[in-house]
Structure 1
């Protein structure tokens, strides 16, 4: 699954367009490398997102096309 779509489905970022813009600005990295929105995400990847002064680091546990709001937190684990 594409990185921008995963960020939206997992509810780490609310909208796909915002996720896309964050990737274009170089604020998202996957496994230590700055990533474009089209990067393929799989279980076990480490995603780091810079939100202003705060950094969020998560490990991908599962990849699903759609998920209910209360189950979105099960797709990743905070590090």
Structure 2
């Protein structure tokens, strides 16, 4: 599944166009490698996303094309959150 689509489906980022912009700005890595919006996400991948002054590390648990709002959080688990100075 494409990175931008995963971020939207999992509701980590609300809109796919915003997910694409964040990826294109170089604020996301997949398993330590710089990611583009078109990068492929697989189960067990580790994503590091920079949201403003915060780094969030996420592990992908499941991939689905469509998911209900209350099930979206099951697609990933937050490994750690850290503030950036």
TM over 0.5: yes
Name the counterpart of 1:62. 62
1:24-55 CA distance string (max 9 Å, x none): 00001100111001111110000110011101
Supply the distance in 2 between the matched residues of 1:75 and 1:39 (Cα, whole angstroms): 17
Supply the distance in 1 between the matched residues of 2:29 and 2:47 (Cα, whole angstroms): 6
Higher-Rg structure is: 2
TM-score, normalization: structure 2? 0.91
The structure that is strand-richer by fraction is 2
Name the counterpart of 2:9. 9
Runs ≥4 in structure 1, deviation > 4 angstroms?
none
**Structure 2 unaligned residues grouped into runs of 5+:** 80-85
**Structure 1 unaligned residues grouped into runs of 5+:** none
* Secondary structure, counterpart of 2:67 in structure 1: coil
Supply the distance in 2 between the matched residues of 1:66 and 1:48 (Cα, whole angstroms): 23
How many pairs were matched up?
A: 79
Supply the distance in 1 between the matched residues of 2:50 and 2:18 (Cα, whole angstroms): 13
